[in-house]
Amino acid sequence: MTCSNLKHHVKEKMAASRQARRLYTCLSRFSCALFVFASLAVGKESFSRQVSMHYNPGCNITECQSSPSNDNDTHNNLVHILARGSRDSIHYVWSTIGAPTVLMVHTTSKESELKVDWEKLLTTNGDNSGAITFEPSNEVDFSMAVMFNKIWEYEDLHDKSELPEDDTEMFEPYDLSQMRWGDFNLTMNTTGLTGNFTGATTQSDMESLFQNGSISFRIHAFKTDDRSADLPHLQYTSNQTQFDFTIDSVEPRGNMSRYAMELMLLTEDKHLDLKKMKSIDDEYTPGVFELFELTMTHSDQTDSYVQWKPVCYTKSTRSMAVATPTKTYKLKDLDTTSIPADTIARAYFTNLDRLQRKALNVSFGLTGDGSYVASNFTSWTASVGYGEPPSERLSLLIIIVISTGLGIPVVIIMFGGLFICCRQKDGDKGKKEIMDEYPTVNGGETDAIN
Amino acid sequence: MAEPDEKSPLVKRRNSSEDEEELTGCGASAACDPRRALHRFLVLWLICFLSFGSYFCYDNPAALQSQIKKDMHVNTGTFMTLYSWYSWPNVILCFFGGFLLDRVFGIRLGTIIFSLFVLAGQCVFALGAQLNLFWLMEAGRFIFGIGGESLAVAQNTYAVTWFRGKELNMVFGLQLSFSRVGSTVNMNVMSPVYKWISGYVGEGYITLGYALWVGAGTCVLSLLCGLLLGYYDKRAARILKRDAGKTGEVIRITDVKDFPATFWLITVICVAYYVAVFPFIGLGLVFFEEKFDLNPTSANAVNSLVYIISAGASPVLGFLVDKTGKNVFWVILAILVTLACHMMLAFTFWNPYIAMSIMGVSYSLLACALWPIVAFIIPENQLGTAYGFMQSIQNLGLAVISIVAGSIVDQKGYLLLEVFFLAWLCLALIAGVVLYLVDAVRGGALNMSTWERDAQEEAEEKAKAAEQDERVRFKPRSAFALRNRFYSRIGAKLPDHFDIHTSSFFRRGVTQ
């Protein structure tokens, strides 16, 4: 039967009853409305930005040239991602100078520029404050920084997957300000807007643990709005950059080693809030029903966010089979003294005391997954962005499947009930008639024969 | 017996109350008299223990998973083949098992043969472990599978033969709970047994082999039950003259296509319902951990709730269905409740203990009410085939849907998986409603309450007796009739009160 035939057939059947037809039109209207709604939802954010990526912009001193001769030295990587809109622009500055840091600055001018005083930034023995500025400076309306400071490692002997409260119960942490970072320029893709910061520790006694291993941040900016192709399929917009944080083949120091990362946040005069959002929908990230958001709000309007799902992956090809949960711990206040010395956050923010300062730990793995030792690989994804964080909603597929799947039985039960009612009335009538017409047929026939 | 008079038949009609076998000794006591309830319940124990061995051994690999993987040096994937070698062949084997039961072996011999297969399979399995040959273990599982599922079919058939029209629903419930008991005992016993043996032999494949021989012991127990059942069934058939009513027809494989529509609807319900329960339990652990923030221990507890509850609730619910009848109503109710449970799990964050407990009860209710319906619509000589066929399709459904469900979770997550299961339950619901309608059109035989059914059966019995009278070609004549026949042959005058015309009226019953 062809499709049109089938349709015709279905229609014919439906036309059999007026009620059915009314219901049918109602249903088709409903699905039409659904489609309109869905296309609205998709079409809503057609606005996008001009996004570009630059490596060490405007640097002409030797410290920031990539040269194969000083391979053992750390590279001074600074990546500028610029997202220009029609009325404003967002600057992301990712850098491994000092410690891995991302600085986000929003300006109300679409022509604002990043200015880096490289001499000042790279003089290691002094105050780099004021080395990074944005012009025109009076157009800057919002800025924040996220720093990645320490990697904790602890021995989870009883497989409780709980980060110890006390530092003394852990191994000496990897200090990300004491890392040797590779050249970002080699991995940078200015059309795909991606690139890797890869590093190994230079801490004494711990260097050997990084013989084949590395810690890396893969950053990714976007020109459009969509969902990333890889798990956990976070939503992205041109207002944000995503990063995958990976600990690969680092030799664990315990038999049940687990890692955790410390994030630090700096922002001006804003309300910093950690939210855990629960959803019944895990269609984009199978098995994950939560979404964490660290939001910085000012007078009820969200200005920026860090967003992540509580899941990390234990193989480089991500799938649900290699997923293991992450745990997020409470926001804590942060001393100015614990902020890494040479980070670009210090170069931009001139008065750290006036800032909102918070720190947060995220640990990787959960009871029963065999800890880091089982796979020697952990990778976790988050995004840093400007504006309202993208919110999750049910996909059209789910809505359609649910409405048809649950609609059909309801219809069938209704009609079935109707049918039974009608039939029982008819049946009662019919029975009575039969009873009246015929007397009992069989009687004492055996007597008659005998 | 009164003196024969003029109008009583000269040749005595076989009278069932007269030529019954005299039972003596123990046979006369309530426990051994097949006409008495006590004997039936003793046989019920045999029926239940008949499958105990196969359920116990079926989950041997799960109970000894880490030991098998360590001793035989296999990974999880290879280990799982121990289950696939059991389940995939059974997609077709238990259909043929049921058919052979009806056509070739008969239930008594068939049961014993299948029990032997189970025993042999477990022996080969244990031998494989003892000789450190993993392929031999797989072969053992295959042989075990040939017997296992078909034995379940035989068990169903036995239950119907002994309990049709009596406590059938409860018996099905009890069988279900016994299957759970079997695997639970296995889960709790095998590991300590292994440990205990390793105390003497030391760890290794030899110990594993010895531990599995314990499993073979339970199969011997089941075989003994099969032998005893065969004996008692034969004896009961003789005493109760079960064979008297049989037509002697044998089933052909093509008879399957002539099974009534109601049977197919029941099969649809069976597949659509079971795939929404068991593959879900298989994937449930992560769902409960992640969505409801349970720790692995409590997630495991929630996940096994359906099994635990069904073990306790199914005989009780079976009893309820026995007392009330209305099987189709109970089936539809069970599907609706399960639908509600899945919705709860899919769309709310309510404590999963609630949904899973209710699902355990509704699953037991369905299992008790659904399987016995088949006994109402399929003639007894085809029951084995019918049950085998249902079980085959169910196995196929479970095997395929488990794979599909796994990939749905991987690709699209648990919400869509739940929606997928909801769709299956809706299909089951539709089939249930259609079953009700079809049955209602045909007079509502399947959804009768118990007293209606009893009344109908009584009426049918009477009608059958009358029909049999009709069928007998040479009816024993009364002295009066014979005399008249003789008179008419020789042309003598018939008595005035015997008029051939009026007697034909009598025959049609018009004058009455």
Chain B residues touching residue A431 (CB < 8 angstroms): none
pLDDT at B11 > cutoff 70:
no
Query: What are the helix and strand counts (H, E) for chain A?
Result: 6, 22
Unique residue bearing structure tokens 């059909």: A408
pLDDT at A244: 92
* Residue in A with minimal Cα distance to B289: A287
Mean predicted confidence (pLDDT) in B407-428: 88
Q: Would you say the pTM of this structure is higher than 0.90? A: no
Mean predicted confidence (pLDDT) in B342-354: 91
pLDDT at A202: 82
Query: What are the helix and strand counts (H, E) for chain B?
Result: 19, 0
The residues, any chain, with a CB within 8 Å of residue B314's CB and separated by 6 or more, are: B172, B173, B174, B176, B177, B364, B367, B368
User: Distance from B440 to chain A by nearest Cα, in Å?
Assistant: 8
Residues of A with CB under 8 A from a CB of B: 278, 280-289, 319-321, 325, 366-368, 397-398, 401-402, 405-406, 408-409, 412-413, 416, 419-420, 423, 441-450
> Torsions phi, psi of A401, nearest 5?
-60, -45
Residue A374 — pLDDT band, cuts 50, 70, 90?
Answer: confident
Nearest Cβ partner for A416 among B7, B437, B466: B437
Tokens representing residue A243 in the block: 């990063």
Sign of CA dihedral A168, A169, A174, A177: negative
pLDDT at A47 > cutoff 80:
no
Mean predicted confidence (pLDDT) in A233-239: 85
User: Distance from A406 to chain B by nearest Cα, in Å?
Assistant: 7
- Among A433-437, B234-238, B413-417, whose mean pLDDT is lowest? A433-437
Nearest Cβ partner for B7 among A286, A398, A450: A450
Rounded (5°) CA angle B271-B272-B277 = 95
Nearest Cβ partner for B423 among A281, A368, A405: A405
| Cα separation, B84 vs B89, whole angstroms | 8
- Percent of chain B at pLDDT > 90 equals 17
pLDDT at A381 > cutoff 90:
yes
Inter-chain contact B349–A278, Cβ cutoff 8 Å?
yes
Residue B219 — pLDDT band, cuts 50, 70, 90?
Answer: very high
| Cα separation, B314 vs B302, whole angstroms | 19
Residue A146 — pLDDT band, cuts 50, 70, 90?
Answer: very high
**Domains of chain B in sequence order:** 27-249 (1.20.1250.20), 254-447 (1.20.1250.20), 479-512 (no CATH)
Q: Residues of B numbered 356-415 whose beta carbons fall under 8 angstroms of chain A's beta carbons: which are they? A: 409-415
**pLDDT per residue over B477-487, tens digit each?**
677 777 777 77
| Cα separation, B480 vs B10, whole angstroms | 10
**pLDDT per residue over B55-78, tens digit each?**
888 888 888 877 888 888 887 778
**pLDDT per residue over B96-142, tens digit each?**
888 888 888 888 898 999 999 999 999 999 999 888 888 999 999 99
| Cα separation, B360 vs B346, whole angstroms | 17
**pLDDT per residue over B169-197, tens digit each?**
888 888 888 888 888 888 788 888 888 88
pLDDT at B500 > cutoff 80:
no
The residues, any chain, with a CB within 8 Å of residue A424's CB and separated by 6 or more, are: none
What burial class does residue B100 get, using C-beta atoms within 10 Å of its C-beta: 0-12 exposed, 13-18 middle, 19+ buried? buried
Residue type, B317: L
The residues, any chain, with a CB within 8 Å of residue A100's CB and separated by 6 or more, are: A94, A147, A148, A176, A197, A217
| Cα separation, B364 vs B367, whole angstroms | 5
- Among A377-381, A416-420, B224-228, B284-288, whose mean pLDDT is lowest? A416-420
Mean predicted confidence (pLDDT) in A168-195: 85
Decide which of B3 and B351 is more confident: B351
Q: What is the ipTM of this complex?
A: 0.74
Rounded (5°) CA angle B397-B401-B402 = 115
Chain A residues touching residue B9 (CB < 8 angstroms): 450
Q: Is B245 helix (H, G, I), strand (E, B) or coil?
A: helix
Tokens representing residue A38 in the block: 């869905």
| Cis, bond preceding A232 (omega within 30 deg of 0) | yes
Rounded (5°) CA angle B457-B459-B462 = 110
Residues paired with residue A309 on neighbouring β-strands, in sequence order? none
| Cα separation, A385 vs A360, whole angstroms | 18
Name the nearest CA neighbour of A306 among A349, A348, A269, A272: A272
Residues paired with residue A241 on neighbouring β-strands, in sequence order? A221, A384
pLDDT at A399: 83
pLDDT at B9: 63
Nearest Cβ partner for A416 among B419, B433, B506: B433
- Percent of chain B at pLDDT > 70 equals 86
Residues paired with residue A90 on neighbouring β-strands, in sequence order? A83, A106
Chain B residues touching residue A319 (CB < 8 angstroms): 410
According to DSSP, the β-strands at A332-333 and A271-278 are unpaired
Across all residues in chain A, what is the average pLDDT?
Answer: 78
Q: Is B492 left (phi over 0), alpha (psi -120 to 50) or beta?
A: beta
pLDDT at A126: 66
Tokens representing residue A137 in the block: 């400076």
Nearest Cβ partner for B422 among A321, A405, A446: A405
Q: Residues of B numbered 311-350 whose beta carbons fall under 8 angstroms of chain A's beta carbons: which are they? A: 346-349
The residues, any chain, with a CB within 8 Å of residue B304's CB and separated by 6 or more, are: B281
